[in-house]
Amino acid sequence: TEPSSPNVRTEIPGPKSRQLLKELDRIQNTGAVQFFADYDKSYGNYLVDVDDNCLLDLYTQIASIPIGYNHQSLIDAVKNEDNLSTFVNRPALGCYPPRDWITRLQTSLLAVAPPGLSEVQTMACGACSVEHAQKAMFIAFQRRKRGGAPPTQQELQSCKTNELPGTPNLSVLSFKNAFHGRTMGALALTHTKPMHKLDLPQPKWPIATFPMLKYPLEDNVRENQAEEKRCLEEVEDLIETWKKKSEPIVGIVIEPIQGEGGDNFASPQFFQGLQDICIKNDICFNLDEVQTGCGVTGLFWAHEHFNLKQPPDIVTFSKKMLTGGFFYRSEYRPQEAFRIFNTWIGDPSKVVLLEAVIKVIKRDNLLNRVSEIGNYLWPEVEKIQEKYPDLISRVRGLGITGAVDFPSPDERNKAISKLLSKGVNTGACGESSLRLRPTLTLQKQHVDIFLDRLNSVCQEMS
Amino acid sequence: TEPSSPNVRTEIPGPKSRQLLKELDRIQNTGAVQFFADYDKSYGNYLVDVDDNCLLDLYTQIASIPIGYNHQSLIDAVKNEDNLSTFVNRPALGCYPPRDWITRLQTSLLAVAPPGLSEVQTMACGACSVEHAQKAMFIAFQRRKRGGAPPTQQELQSCKTNELPGTPNLSVLSFKNAFHGRTMGALALTHTKPMHKLDLPQPKWPIATFPMLKYPLEDNVRENQAEEKRCLEEVEDLIETWKKKSEPIVGIVIEPIQGEGGDNFASPQFFQGLQDICIKNDICFNLDEVQTGCGVTGLFWAHEHFNLKQPPDIVTFSKKMLTGGFFYRSEYRPQEAFRIFNTWIGDPSKVVLLEAVIKVIKRDNLLNRVSEIGNYLWPEVEKIQEKYPDLISRVRGLGITGAVDFPSPDERNKAISKLLSKGVNTGACGESSLRLRPTLTLQKQHVDIFLDRLNSVCQEMS
Ligand code: FES
């Protein structure tokens, strides 16, 4: 069973973690390692490290643990003899799919498909999900352009050596502070920290401004509306400019809530406006829900909060979904074989685990619980903000996902490390934000521990 | 236990596969699907499909099954309670590695590291292995260029919006007919079929000619030497040209044997020459062993056949290794945290399976067996070539990996489909080659079945 509270015995990283760090450093760069974890001892919302520190984990492997450590349903799925061959024999899914693959898709991904979308392509991580979704956009754009005609011989030949016309000049629009992954096509859309980007050649595609809302929202309604309007106009301008310079924008990729870039929210009206622009220009509207999907906002997909007039064209996912992939409107289905393809195209053993996760989400009514817990959590954090207005600002959250800002990166880092020493693991994002990314099984008692520790930290820091 | 011979009961795909195909087609493009497989019933070198056809599998999930279906050692690894939490809790390896991670790396990847390389970065598939290896090259190149100075403020700022100087103009040299993956940075190095490349924007980097050797090798020594010399000169020319146009080549990426592009071999001297060029120009020599690693040539890494004067700078792997990743010389280690990074950076549960695979390779002396079986297989295929010289040409192989050519793509496809109907599953590559990619547990009796069926097919086709 889950511990009732955190228990910190050493500084973190403790002596055992530090010893292991030294050993790992002979094998690779360890600059990002926080501590070594004992996953056998971890349970529920608590992560235990090798020095026996027991931490309330509100960051959960960079937002990728859906229902807590060592959940019984996941253990059962791995132990179930019927699933054994799925863990042992990883197939080339595009060529030799398993007997039960369609049933698996139906009870997992299709059971939670965004409203209006019924096609799905599995992938293995966030980056390949974004990259192959991008390929689907390019392919659909060129197909529309050809208007039914087959590609020319010249196109077929020239593409093999990355030349025009088979390798066309096309672009994808992304947003400042966006994060979509680390491979070249995904990294081209990513605009967060220099250490993610420096020294790496990338296509120089258009980048629009993501609205930077002022908080509290209710006191800044007019300003925020103006900010979003300005951002939408910029998008329209960029579409025109890039059409003229013959590197047309084939689609817009955007996170419903910018995660890595600082937990930046925009209004449903903003996303409705973006979709309208895509429809008007006949380009793809791609929502990247790698970090916002799987129920963290209280609805299964964050974009369900937006009241869009039609489904987004593409919705990418990974992290808590355990498998990567993307849902898409059928016009984004490639018509030919082997276009969206690789050796594995995902991993059925991850879909087995997702199936178990989705059963638990439904059985335990976790989406409602996430909404309720969010409704309790964020107003309480606002109370702390009121107490320490020089330390905490821009409290924002939806369901269990959200963040607060500190006056500087240093103070943010100090707060994270103080929280850790008090037994609560949180994460950084943006310039100086502290973000929460707990599991869907977060409960009031966990929130109360966090609030208590955050209060102490603020007291110590002010 | 393993069946003693194939057993084909229906045409392939059979009625059950065709029914499932129809259902899957509602969910996604199914153009590449051959048939649906029953992985519970498959065993060893035999793959059973949903229509109960039992096939000798010499293609093994696009060369990604190392020691056969449902190998007892892999079953034991999944069932072992000590491994349970590794299958249930996927960590963010770069931040919170598991207690036993270093031991795992030592008993798996480091136990089979290419001679002279002792650092390794795990990844999750071939594409991200290639992409992050590429990033390591760019980062090392720019670091050398700065000569110890830190990046400028201008570099740090400009890279966030993909602009100069932080996003530099650098290139990577690849070869005609190369295949390195499907995400943008990997696809830029890939030059195989139009359906892999068409419509997708990519950096227009230099592409050199991979030597196209004439067979039989012993009758074409002088010509082949000249061909390889020409190719090396082209590489040197390209390095000069691209230096002048200020988009310098930071490294060369090459497969020890081109797989997807047609099982193209080059001599050890060619690879030695390439390495010399890299050393002379102070650029990275990156061998992509995704398809040639894990013992398929009789040595654990194909480049061990090359007698290189020093280790390659980077060796990428995936497929039979079950985990992706790359080994690298320490100058390619990024000095800062979060540069070669993503949420998962691989998957310890795959490393658990790899550990079991490596134990079996050693226990059963599989590398020697692969050499022996190769020494038996290819001369026998040459005998068939002698009998049917108008049908089969360019027999080439090393260990269990290799191919033969047919006069045309159509005849190649016909041969593959005839072999399938006789119970032997093989694959296509290049223009008109048929390739073998069996498991490391292939034995003489399997080879004899293949030879027998290939003989009949040739008889029917001539
Ligand atoms: S790029 Fe996603 S798993 Fe490799």
What pLDDT score does A321 carry? 98
B194 and A160 within 8 Å at the Cβ level: the answer is yes
Q: How far is the CA of B457 from the centre of ligand 1 (A)?
A: 39
- Give the dihedral sign, CA B96/B99/B100/B106: positive
Q: How far is the CA of B290 from the centre of ligand 1 (A)?
A: 14
Whether A343 sits among the annotated catalytic residues: the reply is yes
Nearest-Cα distance to chain A for B54, in Å, is 14
Largest CA distance in chain B: 70
Is residue B61 within 8 Å of A92, Cβ to Cβ? yes
Q: How far is the CA of B10 from the centre of ligand 1 (A)?
A: 36
Closest by CA position to B51, among listed A103, A93, A99: A99
Q: DSSP states of A191-239 as a string?
A: -S-HHHHTT-------EEPPP---SSGGG-HHHHHHHHHHHHHHHHHHH
Residues 6+ apart with CB under 8 A from A168: A138, A142, B199, B201
Is residue B108 within 8 Å of B355, Cβ to Cβ? yes
- pLDDT of A1 strictly over 90: no
Q: DSSP states of B331-348 as a string?
A: GGS-SSTTSS--SSSS-H
pLDDT in tens, B291-319: 999 999 999 999 999 999 999 999 999 99
Nearest-Cα distance to chain B for A389, in Å, is 30
pLDDT in tens, B57-109: 999 999 999 999 999 999 999 999 999 999 999 999 999 999 999 999 999 99
Whether B179 sits among the annotated catalytic residues: the reply is yes
pLDDT in tens, B352-391: 999 999 999 999 999 999 999 999 999 999 999 999 999 9
Q: Find out whether the peptide bond into B216 is cis, omega within 30 degrees of 0.
A: yes
- Beta partners for residue B123, in sequence order: B324
Q: What span, in angstroms and rounded, lies between the C-alpha atoms of A135 and A124?
A: 16
The CA-atom distances, in angstroms, between A267 and each of A225, A303, B111 are 9, 11, 53
**Within 6 Å (CB) of ligand 1, which residues are found?**
A 124-125, 127-128, 183; B 124-125, 127-128, 183
Q: What span, in angstroms and rounded, lies between the C-alpha atoms of A330 and A324?
A: 19
Dig out the tokens for B149 from the structure: 């100075």
Q: What span, in angstroms and rounded, lies between the C-alpha atoms of B430 and B424?
A: 20
Per-residue pLDDT, averaged over B28-48, amounts to 98
Ligand 1 atom with least separation from CA of B126: 4
pLDDT in tens, B216-231: 999 999 999 999 999 9
B70 and A90 within 8 Å at the Cβ level: the answer is no
Dig out the tokens for B13 from the structure: 């795909």
Q: What is the mean pLDDT of chain B?
A: 98
Per-residue pLDDT, averaged over A217-240, amounts to 97
In the set B288, B313, B347, B405, the catalytic residue is B288
Per-residue pLDDT, averaged over A126-146, amounts to 98
Whether B319 sits among the annotated catalytic residues: the reply is yes
Dig out the tokens for B457 from the structure: 């097919």
Residue A175: band (very low, low, confident or very high) from pLDDT cuts 50, 70, 90: very high
- pLDDT of A211 strictly over 90: yes
pLDDT in tens, B320-338: 999 999 999 999 999 999 9
Chain B residues with CB-CB distance to A318 below 8 A: 343
The whole-model pTM stands at: 0.98
pLDDT in tens, B263-289: 999 999 999 999 999 999 999 999 999
pLDDT in tens, A402-461: 999 999 999 999 999 999 999 999 999 999 999 999 999 999 999 999 999 999 999 999
SS3 A339: coil
Q: Count of CB contacts below 8 A, A vs B?
A: 403
Residues 6+ apart with CB under 8 A from A380: A447, A451
- pLDDT of A148 strictly over 90: no
In the set A319, A320, A350, A422, the catalytic residue is A319
The CA-atom distances, in angstroms, between A187 and each of A110, B184, B456 are 28, 10, 51
Q: Give the number of other Cβ atoms within 10 Å of residue B10's Cβ.
A: 17
Interface list for A 212-251 with B (CB within 8 A): none
Nearest-Cα distance to chain A for B178, in Å, is 10
Closest by CA position to A104, among listed A325, A386, A426, A364: A325
- pLDDT of B1 strictly over 90: no
Q: How far is the CA of B164 from the centre of ligand 1 (A)?
A: 28
pLDDT in tens, A189-198: 999 999 999 9
Q: What is the mean pLDDT of chain A?
A: 98
> In this complex, is the C-beta atom of B428 within 8 Å of any C-beta atom belonging to chain A?
no
> In this complex, is the C-beta atom of B191 within 8 Å of any C-beta atom belonging to chain A?
yes
> In this complex, is the C-beta atom of B344 within 8 Å of any C-beta atom belonging to chain A?
yes
Is residue A325 within 8 Å of A138, Cβ to Cβ? no
- Picking from B85, B102, B199, the nearest residue to A20 by CB comes out as B102
Closest by CA position to A96, among listed B42, B182, B193, B27: B42
Nearest-Cα distance to chain A for B347, in Å, is 11
Per-residue pLDDT, averaged over A357-363, amounts to 98
pLDDT in tens, B130-157: 999 999 999 999 999 999 899 999 999 9
